[in-house]
């Protein structure tokens, strides 16, 4: 490189920049999807050669639609500058101005928790693809407790959350135990259990006392008022962001301390970086595997119950369903954050913003929410290949560490 | 076929692995490339074999310049390579391995196994390399596997055979038989380029010796030159070929291994009733070619592999089938054979690697929390005491040279309170300076009254260091002899001959 | 440095001392005991079960007519249970080297028969008191066909050293595109072609990320599969819902082989299937032949076991892997179309984890086409049972029943991985110096 100043060179080769570039590329992919699936834009491109103004029209239409879509995403997820200005100058409608941010934070809360759980297992060299199933079971357990025990909030809420954690812990125990005692590859076990968990959800919602009394559908009972994570600014404010954000923040801090400062966390990281050396150095691989899955499952379960206690207050058959379910998004967020707690927090905020923004975009332009998921996955695909992003943008990077998990196949 | 390398230069970033290297192999000549570990021999061979492209220089075959896009080209030009780490597919048969890439086929791309078998038997006969074409390679002993490698190269009509450190895995008798094979290949008109750092063999079989050091050719030598002359050419200074050691003052046994039976991954008892003692203040060297159970024995000692029967006792404490944690805490120091896989976490810092097996111990941790200041202080001290060359204690250990990485492992083990040090192949892949350092440290342990068990397939090292030498073959100890025993006797013990027969031979 | 002889996995192998045979044998015995308790003892001594054999969907009359078979439920189930236990015992005692899978398959088959007999017994809660064995076989084969495509795809990819977790996504892509094409053209041949294209494309993407950029293959696979599934959902809402004419497909017609289809019981099962059945059988034979008897197969396997060795004789590892992964993707894509051809209509959840089950089948079948067929039959039958046992008013909730194939997969995977050898370089990135 010709005389590029040293500080600039460092910035250019930093992992953070790569992340930004991956995000950009993901948005580009999203643009393509929008172009290819929005009728007016397609029409504009189809008539590309019909007139001299064809190309210009096509490009303008593209920019209009894509721009509108992404603008709606931004204002839906963060803030609408007009609205902000209005609120500042008139002192009114703060609610509608702050709602996007509040929504993003609300969505980010359980997502952060689940993603940190997934990130911890990734750092240990294990793949927890079952966070979705663990979150579902955690949600069920939490609702079971939180909808039936009539206790004061100060006891009921912690117990409800704890029940969620325990639900996740038990679910996480399955792949953990199977892997450490039989060598069963956790990818298949966790993937399969996601489907099982979905069915357990249906079962409990239709055939057990958990079902909403008087309802034939797959809806659960409501959480008692004492088991709710109430909105930060009170229900009257209309802002949904709830006390769960503090839980999420707490999880981030504890996870950071655990991984970076505790001995057990060190053992986790060593196991992830080199399982052979870990074993020879006296680290017990079984203990680590089981603990990692218990922790990860527990966090996923906590995410599940936090979602319920903070927002919906009940669960239905569509809880955390499909590939947009928290468990899968958590994987992508964790990869985006390079499996580190602080990075994961930012990643969760970004993806929550994409999700919330996507909803808003759907409302105003009709583009379905799944586009946001497509963008998320594209970003992650690009993140998983820092080399490729570098090539596209012609950068040389410093150590592209952190993402190369102990690459292994089925052989243990 | 005359092969000439002219001015070959190859760089890896700032490191110049080969610097203007020129040498010529005449037809029918056994030409040795001599150099210590890290001198650049492998790089040069990879260039010659088409696996790497030289930055400068050229390769000429019979006077005409050639260039190789990949090793397929090199093979087509008549260059065959027998790699140090065999390029054989374990689950394939001998025949499949030999014909791979040049398979005889029938219609529909079907493999012509009959023809393959015939071709192999024919080549076996011609060159004196007996193998069974239908045997599965992973079931074969190492010496036979090497023959398969050679057959593979010959099957490609190689005129120049490159042998990369071929004797590393052979018993002395197998080495003799390999030398015979080399001579008969030479008689059949083939040229051989033979890479080694073992002075004895080099002098035995070469016609011409090219010595390389730190990437450059430093001279051409004759087999008639003395070992000392060759060694000093190789290393650049006068090399002490022996280790300074005081008289042994061995005390009571600290590590007692009794009738140990250990099975490998396939259920075969690779350690078959081993009984050994390692005494205080002595170095017990376990000699033997790799693959006779030494690796599994060390793994069993370290607690990494289960013991089927027998016992291991350390200063009276039974550590049979103990977990690695318990074994380490009981006072066993372990320098593993594969330092990258088992000894270090390459992506982590030097400081972290120095406390890798004591992360919870005071003073490095306190109630489950790591104390980074202590860890750092420890690292600074060790780096100083052991002269570990590294940018900083926080540098990733992958940035260190092989020798310094081994120093990290040694520093880690030797600064714990250990009773017995088990070091498996401790100087493999190291340059002479590091080898000397490791040997000194091992002798120091002995001097301080610890027991040392060193496992090595380098006979020179075993003879230099061992106060007693135990020889292992097919899982059994064939004899425990003093270091004054002749190499021939030890060689016979390595092939399974009993001690009476060996000494009477 | 290791020569081939030294041990490497001893450090991490789980310490249970059971071998694959022991695990399978024990599983069989447990299965037999469960059969005895739940089905033999679980039915009253008065109950009978009736097996019928008339195929439901053939045209024309049959020259042979197999009459119904009435069996005493408890006795038959008891016999089945004992047979299963005997198989398990034989495996444990005699430790056969080969055909362990086939034995377990036989035990599983007996188990399935016992379930059906028990479910359809008279004097039980069921209104339907017969089991049409022919329908059962036909019904079980349909998902088995789809799973076989998936496992074959896995074999092609993993034998060359690349893990393909994205089969689920390739299934979905094939199902979506196949359904779209069929709705528009009513031509299954073109639909299959569509599956080939989309599957190959996805295989290309996987290969690209795994080989060129050496990303972790499992992560790329999961992300790719999830991406495709989200895309499918998105497109379903954007295109298929507002324009239902693009989702107006129908199940693929059966191709009847004239004389053979009239063989009782087996005829309709084997010779009256849709084109995808015949195609998958051809593929199994083709791939078996290709992998183990041809030069191409030898090279592929070399690349999957020891890529450096292959490279050192001039085989282009990267190109071989690209080829195989794309080919594998194509096969999976066709499997997706087969899935649609079976169901008749596309919906977002159509793949239901079958792609991942196919992976388990791959491992169960030891990366061989013959083994994979047995595994697919096993899983396919469990899918069929899960979906159809409700007709017999079995006293188990539907949701629980539907878990069956997934639980089976978990059990299979726990019992068998770590004791079978995948291609040695499977999943490991190949770095050229």
> For residue range C14-38, what is the model confidence (pLDDT) as tens digits?
445 566 677 778 888 888 888 888 8
Q: Is residue B338 part of a domain?
A: no
Q: Which two tokens stand for residue B410?
A: 């040694």
Chain centre to alpha carbon of residue B302:
20
Q: Which residue among B353, B381, B416 closes a domain?
A: B416
**How many separate domains does chain B show?**
3
What is the value of pTM for the model shown?
Answer: 0.84
The rounded distance, in Å, linking the Cα atoms of B391 and A352 is 42
The rounded distance, in Å, linking the Cα atoms of C278 and C270 is 9
- Residue A396, pLDDT > 50, answer no
pLDDT of residue C65: 66
> Which ipTM was obtained for this model?
0.81
Residues A37-53 have a mean pLDDT of: 72
Is there a contact between B96 and C298 if contact means CB atoms under 8 Å apart?
Answer: yes
Per CB-CB distance under 8 Å, the chain B contacts of A266 are 352, 359, 370
Shared domain for B157 and B131, answered yes or no, is yes
The residue that leads in pLDDT, A139 or A151, is A139
The rounded distance, in Å, linking the Cα atoms of C265 and C137 is 9
pLDDT of residue B487: 80
Q: State what percent of residues in chain A have pLDDT above 90.
A: 26
CA of C318, closest CA in chain B: separation in Å?
Answer: 13
Helices (H), C95-216: 100-119, 133-159, 167-185, 188-207
pLDDT of residue A384: 66
Phi and psi based region of residue B331 (left: phi greater than 0; alpha: psi -120 to 50; beta: remaining): left
The rounded distance, in Å, linking the Cα atoms of C154 and C177 is 21
Residue C2, chain B, CB below 8 Å: the answer is yes
Residues C179-197 have a mean pLDDT of: 89
Find chains touching chain A: ≥3 CB pairs under 8 Å.
B, C
pLDDT digits over A270-314, tens only?
999 999 999 999 999 999 999 999 999 999 999 999 888 888 888
Query: Domain holding C358: CATH number?
Result: 1.10.3470
| pLDDT level of residue C98 (50, 70, 90 thresholds) | low
The rounded distance, in Å, linking the Cα atoms of B140 and B131 is 10
Per CB-CB distance under 8 Å, the chain C contacts of B78 are none
| pLDDT level of residue A392 (50, 70, 90 thresholds) | low
Is there a contact between C306 and B88 if contact means CB atoms under 8 Å apart?
Answer: yes
Domain that holds residue C162: 138-382
Q: Is residue B406 part of a domain?
A: yes
- Residue A12, pLDDT > 80, answer no
CA of C425, closest CA in chain B: separation in Å?
Answer: 11
* Whether the Cβ atoms of residue A279 and residue A270 lie closer than 8 Å to each other: no
| Number of CB atoms found within 10 A of residue C336's CB | 35
| pLDDT level of residue B502 (50, 70, 90 thresholds) | low
Is there a contact between B323 and A282 if contact means CB atoms under 8 Å apart?
Answer: yes
Could you tell me whether strands B253-263 and B332-335 are parallel, antiparallel, or unpaired per DSSP bridges?
unpaired
Identify which of B101, B156, A409 has the alpha carbon closest to the alpha carbon of residue C311.
B101
| pLDDT level of residue B399 (50, 70, 90 thresholds) | confident
Q: State what percent of residues in chain C have pLDDT above 70.
A: 88
Strand partners, B396: B349
Please state, in angstroms and as integers, the Cα–Cα distance from residue B489 to each residue in A66, B290, B469, B486, following that order.
83, 18, 12, 5
Q: Is residue B355 part of a domain?
A: yes
Shared domain for B290 and B158, answered yes or no, is no
Strand partners, B258: B311
Q: Is residue C247 part of a domain?
A: yes
Q: Which of B105, B265, B270 sits opposite C13 (nearest CB)?
A: B265
In b/e form, how buried is each residue of A212-247, taking b as 16+ CB within 10 angstroms?
beeeeebbbbbbbebbbbebbbeeeeebbbbbbbeb
- Residue C4, pLDDT > 60, answer no
| pLDDT level of residue B387 (50, 70, 90 thresholds) | confident
Residues C388-404 have a mean pLDDT of: 80
Instruction: Read off φ and ψ for residue A312, nearest 5 degrees.
Output: -80, -30
Is there a contact between C301 and B83 if contact means CB atoms under 8 Å apart?
Answer: no
Instruction: Read off φ and ψ for residue A209, nearest 5 degrees.
Output: -60, -10
Instruction: Read off φ and ψ for residue B264, nearest 5 degrees.
Output: -85, -170
Q: Is residue B337 part of a domain?
A: no
Shared domain for B224 and B246, answered yes or no, is no
Shared domain for B294 and B353, answered yes or no, is no
| Residue to substitute from A281, A401, A405, A408, interface B, most B β-carbons within 10 A | A281
Is there a contact between C410 and A189 if contact means CB atoms under 8 Å apart?
Answer: yes
CA of A280, closest CA in chain B: separation in Å?
Answer: 6
Residues B295-316 have a mean pLDDT of: 92
Is there a contact between C5 and B108 if contact means CB atoms under 8 Å apart?
Answer: no
The rounded distance, in Å, linking the Cα atoms of B402 and C69 is 75
Is there a contact between A195 and C352 if contact means CB atoms under 8 Å apart?
Answer: yes
Shared domain for B60 and B20, answered yes or no, is yes
Q: Is residue B339 part of a domain?
A: no
Residue A394, chain B, CB below 8 Å: the answer is no
Identify which of C85, C93, C77 has the alpha carbon closest to the alpha carbon of residue C33.
C85
| Number of CB atoms found within 10 A of residue B362's CB | 10
The CATH architecture to which A102-385 belongs is Orthogonal Bundle (1.10)
| pLDDT level of residue A117 (50, 70, 90 thresholds) | very high
Phi and psi based region of residue B419 (left: phi greater than 0; alpha: psi -120 to 50; beta: remaining): alpha
Residues C223-242 have a mean pLDDT of: 82
The rounded distance, in Å, linking the Cα atoms of C138 and C135 is 5
Shared domain for B129 and B215, answered yes or no, is yes
Find chains touching chain C: ≥3 CB pairs under 8 Å.
A, B
Q: Which positions ≥6 away from B71 have C-beta within 8 Å? A: B49, B50, B51, B81, C311, C312, C313, C314
Identify which of C406, C222, C350 has the alpha carbon closest to the alpha carbon of residue A328.
C222
| pLDDT level of residue C63 (50, 70, 90 thresholds) | low
- Residue B210, pLDDT > 80, answer yes
Is there a contact between C422 and A411 if contact means CB atoms under 8 Å apart?
Answer: yes
| pLDDT level of residue A51 (50, 70, 90 thresholds) | confident
Could you tell me whether strands B468-473 and B283-287 are parallel, antiparallel, or unpaired per DSSP bridges?
parallel
Lowest mean pLDDT among A85-99, B183-197, B297-311: A85-99
| Number of CB atoms found within 10 A of residue B445's CB | 21
CA of C262, closest CA in chain A: separation in Å?
Answer: 39
* Whether the Cβ atoms of residue A123 and residue A269 lie closer than 8 Å to each other: yes
* Whether the Cβ atoms of residue C47 and residue C123 lie closer than 8 Å to each other: yes
Residue A401, chain B, CB below 8 Å: the answer is yes
Shared domain for B104 and B140, answered yes or no, is yes
* Whether the Cβ atoms of residue B42 and residue B100 lie closer than 8 Å to each other: no
Per CB-CB distance under 8 Å, the chain C contacts of A133 are none
* Whether the Cβ atoms of residue B266 and residue B296 lie closer than 8 Å to each other: no
Query: CB burial class (10 A; 0-12, 13-18, 19+) of residue C253?
Result: exposed
Shared domain for B69 and B88, answered yes or no, is yes
Please state, in angstroms and as integers, the Cα–Cα distance from residue C84 to each residue in B318, C27, C48, following that order.
45, 10, 21
* Whether the Cβ atoms of residue A229 and residue A153 lie closer than 8 Å to each other: no
Residues B226-240 have a mean pLDDT of: 73
pLDDT of residue C247: 80
Could you tell me whether strands C69-72 and C48-52 are parallel, antiparallel, or unpaired per DSSP bridges?
antiparallel
- Residue A405, pLDDT > 50, answer no
pLDDT digits over C277-306, tens only?
999 999 999 999 999 999 999 999 999 999
Shared domain for B263 and B220, answered yes or no, is no
* Whether the Cβ atoms of residue B466 and residue B486 lie closer than 8 Å to each other: no
Query: Domain holding B212: CATH number?
Result: 3.40.50.300
pLDDT of residue C96: 75
| pLDDT level of residue C151 (50, 70, 90 thresholds) | very high
| Number of CB atoms found within 10 A of residue A106's CB | 24
Shared domain for B78 and B162, answered yes or no, is yes
**How many separate domains does chain C show?**
1
Q: Which two tokens stand for residue A210?
A: 């958990």
Residues C206-221 have a mean pLDDT of: 83
The rounded distance, in Å, linking the Cα atoms of B132 and A294 is 52
Shared domain for B35 and B111, answered yes or no, is yes
Domain that holds residue B354: 345-416
- Residue A150, pLDDT > 50, answer yes
Q: What is the DSSP string of A293-336?
A: HHHHHHHHHHHHHHHIIIIISS-BTTTT-STTSHHHHHHHHHHH
Q: Which of C12, C409, C428 sits opposite A412 (nearest CB)?
A: C12
Q: Which residue among B185, B216, B235 closes a domain?
A: B235
Please state, in angstroms and as integers, the Cα–Cα distance from residue B179 to each residue in B167, B362, B400, B496, C83, following that order.
10, 55, 37, 21, 62
Output DSSP code: residue B370.
E
pLDDT digits over B12-23, tens only?
877 788 888 898
Q: Is residue B336 part of a domain?
A: no
Residue C97, chain B, CB below 8 Å: the answer is no
Shared domain for B380 and B479, answered yes or no, is no
pLDDT of residue A400: 38
The rounded distance, in Å, linking the Cα atoms of A159 and A140 is 13
| Residue to substitute from B45, B81, B100, B473, interface C, most C β-carbons within 10 A | B100
Q: Is residue C402 part of a domain?
A: no
Q: Which positions 272-331 of C are in contact with B (Cβ < 8 Å)?
A: 293-296, 298-299, 301-302, 305-306, 308-316
The rounded distance, in Å, linking the Cα atoms of C192 and C198 is 10
Q: Which of C237, C403, C426 sits opposite A368 (nearest CB)?
A: C237
Instruction: Read off φ and ψ for residue A130, nearest 5 degrees.
Output: -100, 15
| pLDDT level of residue C260 (50, 70, 90 thresholds) | confident
The residue that leads in pLDDT, A168 or A389, is A168
Instruction: Read off φ and ψ for residue C286, nearest 5 degrees.
Output: -60, -50
pLDDT of residue A7: 64
Per CB-CB distance under 8 Å, the chain C contacts of B76 are 314
Kindly identify which residue of chain C lies nearest to residue B295, measuring between CA atoms: C6
The rounded distance, in Å, linking the Cα atoms of C61 and C58 is 8
Q: Which two tokens stand for residue A410?
A: 């089925």
Is there a contact between C219 and A408 if contact means CB atoms under 8 Å apart?
Answer: no
pLDDT digits over B98-111, tens only?
998 888 888 888 88
Q: Where are the domains of chain A?
A: 102-385
Q: Which two tokens stand for residue C431?
A: 């770095």
Tell me if residue C239 falls in helix, strand or coil: helix
Compute, in degrees rounded to 10, the torsion defined by CA atoms B339, B342, B347, B349: -80
Instruction: Read off φ and ψ for residue B253, nearest 5 degrees.
Output: -70, 130
Q: Is residue B100 part of a domain?
A: yes
The rounded distance, in Å, linking the Cα atoms of B453 and B332 is 10
| pLDDT level of residue C230 (50, 70, 90 thresholds) | confident
pLDDT digits over B40-86, tens only?
888 888 888 888 888 888 899 988 998 888 877 888 888 988 888 88
């Amino acid at each position: 490189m010709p005389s590029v100043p040293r500080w600039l060179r460092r910035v250019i080769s930093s992992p953070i920049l790569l992340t930004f570039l991956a995000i950009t590329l993901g948005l580009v992919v999203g643009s393509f999807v929008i172009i290819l699936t929005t009728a007016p834009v397609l029409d504009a491109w189809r008539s590309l050669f019909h007139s001299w103004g064809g190309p210009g029209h096509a490009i303008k239409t593209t920019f209009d639609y894509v721009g509108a879509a992404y603008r709606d995403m931004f204002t839906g997820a963060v803030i609408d500058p007009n609205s902000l200005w209005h609120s500042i100058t008139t002192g009114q409608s703060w609610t509608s101005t702050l709602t996007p941010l509040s929504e993003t934070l609300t969505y980010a809360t359980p997502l952060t928790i689940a993603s940190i759980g997934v990130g911890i297992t990734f750092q240990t060299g294990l793949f927890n693809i079952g966070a979705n199933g663990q979150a579902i079971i955690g949600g069920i357990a939490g609702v079971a407790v939180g909808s039936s025990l009539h206790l004061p909030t100060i006891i009921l809420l912690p117990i409800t959350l704890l029940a969620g954690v325990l639900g996740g812990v038990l679910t996480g125990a399955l792949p953990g135990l199977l892997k450490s005692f039989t060598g069963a590859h956790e990818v298949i076990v966790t993937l399969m259990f996601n489907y099982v968990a979905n069915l357990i959800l249906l079962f409990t919602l239709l055939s057990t006392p958990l079902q909403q009394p008087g309802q034939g559908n797959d809806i659960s009972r409501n959480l008692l008022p004492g088991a709710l994570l109430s909105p930060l600014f009170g229900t009257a404010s209309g802002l949904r962001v709830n006390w769960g954000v503090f839980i999420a923040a707490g999880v981030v801090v504890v996870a950071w301390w655990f991984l970076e400062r505790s001995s057990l966390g060190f053992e986790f990281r060593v196991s992830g970086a080199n399982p052979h050396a870990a074993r020879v150095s006296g680290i017990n691989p079984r203990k680590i595997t089981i603990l990692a899955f218990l922790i990860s499952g527990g966090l996923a379960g906590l995410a599940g119950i936090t979602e319920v206690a903070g927002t919906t207050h009940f669960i239905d058959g569509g809880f955390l369903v499909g590939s947009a379910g928290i468990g899968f998004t958590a994987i992508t967020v964790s990869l985006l954050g390079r499996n580190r707690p602080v990075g994961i927090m930012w990643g969760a905020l970004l993806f929550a913003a994409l999700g919330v923004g996507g909803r808003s975009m759907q409302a105003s332009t009709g583009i379905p929410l799944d586009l946001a998921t497509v963008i998320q996955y594209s970003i992650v695909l690009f993140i998983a290949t820092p080399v490729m992003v570098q090539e596209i943008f012609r950068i040389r990077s410093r150590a592209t560490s952190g993402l190369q998990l102990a690459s292994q196949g089925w052989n243990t | 076929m005359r092969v000439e390398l002219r001015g070959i230069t190859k760089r890896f970033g700032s490191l110049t692995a080969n610097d203007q290297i020129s040498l010529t192999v005449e037809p029918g000549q056994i030409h040795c490339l001599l150099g210590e570990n890290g001198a650049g021999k492998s790089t040069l061979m990879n260039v010659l074999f088409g696996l790497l492209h030289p930055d400068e220089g050229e390769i000429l075959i019979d006077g005409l310049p050639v260039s190789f896009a990949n090793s397929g080209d090199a093979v087509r030009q008549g260059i065959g390579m027998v790699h140090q780490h065999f390029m054989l597919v374990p689950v394939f048969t001998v025949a499949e391995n030999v014909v791979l890439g040049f398979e005889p086929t029938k219609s529909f791309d079907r493999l012509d196994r009959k023809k393959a078998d015939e071709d192999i038997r024919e080549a076996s006969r011609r060159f004196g390399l007996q193998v069974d074409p239908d045997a599965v390679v992973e079931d074969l002993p190492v010496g036979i596997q090497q023959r398969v490698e050679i057959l593979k190269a010959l099957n490609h009509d190689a005129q120049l055979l490159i042998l990369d450190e071929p004797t590393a895995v052979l018993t002395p008798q197998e080495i003799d038989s390999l030398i015979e094979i080399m001579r008969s290949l030479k008689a059949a008109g083939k040229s051989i380029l033979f890479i080694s750092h073992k002075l004895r063999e080099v002098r035995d079989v070469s016609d011409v010796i090219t010595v390389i050091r730190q990437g450059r050719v430093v001279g051409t030598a004759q087999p008639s030159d003395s070992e000392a002359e060759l060694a000093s050419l190789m290393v650049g200074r006068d090399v002490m070929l022996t280790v300074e050691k005081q008289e042994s003052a061995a005390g009571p046994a600290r590590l007692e291994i009794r009738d140990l039976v250990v099975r490998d991954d396939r259920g075969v008892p690779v350690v078959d009733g081993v009984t050994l003692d390692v005494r205080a203040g002595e170095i017990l060297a376990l000699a033997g070619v790799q693959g006779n159970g030494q690796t599994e024995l060390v793994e069993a000692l370290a607690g990494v592999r289960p013991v089927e029967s027998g016992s291991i006792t350390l200063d009276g404490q039974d550590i049979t089938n103990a977990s690695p944690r318990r074994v380490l805490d009981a006072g066993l120091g372990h320098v593993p054979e594969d330092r990258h896989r088992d000894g270090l976490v390459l992506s982590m810092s030097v400081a972290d690697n120095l406390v890798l097996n004591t992360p919870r111990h005071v003073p490095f941790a306190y109630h489950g929390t790591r104390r980074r200041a202590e860890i750092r202080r420890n690292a600074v001290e060790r780096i100083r005491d052991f002269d570990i060359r590294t940018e900083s204690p926080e540098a990733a250990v992958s940035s260190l040279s092989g020798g310094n990485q081994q120093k990290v492992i040694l520093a880690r083990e030797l600064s714990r309170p250990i009773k017995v040090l088990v070091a498996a192949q401790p100087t493999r892949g190291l340059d002479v300076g590091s080898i000397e350092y490791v040997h000194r440290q091992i002798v120091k342990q002995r001097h301080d009254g610890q027991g040392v068990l060193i496992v090595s397939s380098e006979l020179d090292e075993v003879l230099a260091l061992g106060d007693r030498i135990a020889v292992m073959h097919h899982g059994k100890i064939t004899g425990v002899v003093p270091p004054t025993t002749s190499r021939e006797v030890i060689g016979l013990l390595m092939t399974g001959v009993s001690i009476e027969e060996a000494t009477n031979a | 440095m290791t020569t081939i002889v030294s041990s490497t996995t001893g450090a991490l192998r789980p310490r249970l001392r059971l071998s694959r045979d022991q695990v399978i044998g024990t599983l069989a015995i447990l299965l037999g005991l469960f059969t005895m308790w739940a089905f033999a003892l679980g039915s009253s001594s008065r109950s009978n079960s009736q097996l019928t054999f008339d195929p439901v969907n053939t045209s024309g009359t049959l020259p042979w007519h197999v009459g119904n078979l009435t069996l005493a439920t408890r006795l038959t189930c008891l016999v089945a249970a004992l047979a299963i236990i005997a198989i398990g015992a034989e495996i444990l005692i005699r430790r056969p080297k080969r055909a362990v899978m086939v034995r377990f398959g036989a035990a599983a088959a007996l188990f399935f028969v016992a379930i059906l007999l028990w479910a359809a017994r008279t004097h039980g809660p069921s209104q339907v008191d017969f089991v049409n064995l022919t329908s059962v076989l036909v019904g079980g084969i349909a998902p088995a066909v789809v799973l076989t495509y998936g496992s074959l795809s896995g074999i092609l990819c993993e034998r060359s050293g690349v893990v393909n977790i994205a089969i689920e996504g390739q299934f979905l892509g094939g199902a979506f595109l196949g359904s779209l094409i069929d709705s528009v053209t009513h031509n299954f041949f073109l639909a299959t072609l569509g599956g080939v294209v989309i599957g190959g494309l996805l295989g290309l993407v996987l290969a690209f990320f795994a080989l060129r950029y050496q990303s972790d293959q499992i992560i790329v696979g999961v992300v790719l599969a999830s991406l495709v599934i989200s895309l499918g959902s998105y497109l379903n809402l954007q295109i298929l819902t507002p324009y239902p004419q693009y989702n107006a497909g129908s199940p693929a017609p059966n191709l009847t082989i004239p004389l053979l289809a009239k063989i009782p019981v087996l005829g309709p099962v084997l010779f009256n299937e849709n084109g995808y059945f015949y195609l998958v059988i051809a593929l199994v034979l083709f791939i078996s032949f290709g992998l183990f008897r041809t030069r191409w197969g030898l090279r592929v396997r070399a690349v999957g076991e020891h890529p450096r060795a292959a490279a050192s004789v001039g085989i282009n590892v990267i190109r071989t892997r690209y080829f195989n992964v794309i080919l594998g993707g194509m096969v999976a894509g066709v499997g997706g179309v087969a899935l649609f051809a079976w169901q008749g209509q596309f919906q977002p959840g159509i793949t239901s984890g079958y792609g991942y089950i196919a992976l388990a089948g791959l491992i169960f079948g030891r990366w061989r086409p013959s083994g994979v067929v047995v595994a697919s039959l096993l899983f396919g039958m469990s899918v069929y049972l899960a979906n159809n046992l409700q007709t017999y008013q079995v006293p188990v909730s539907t949701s629980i029943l539907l878990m069956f194939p997934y639980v089976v997969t978990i059990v299979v995977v726990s019992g068998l991985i770590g004791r079978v050898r995948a291609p040695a370089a499977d999943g490991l990135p190949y770095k050229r110096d």
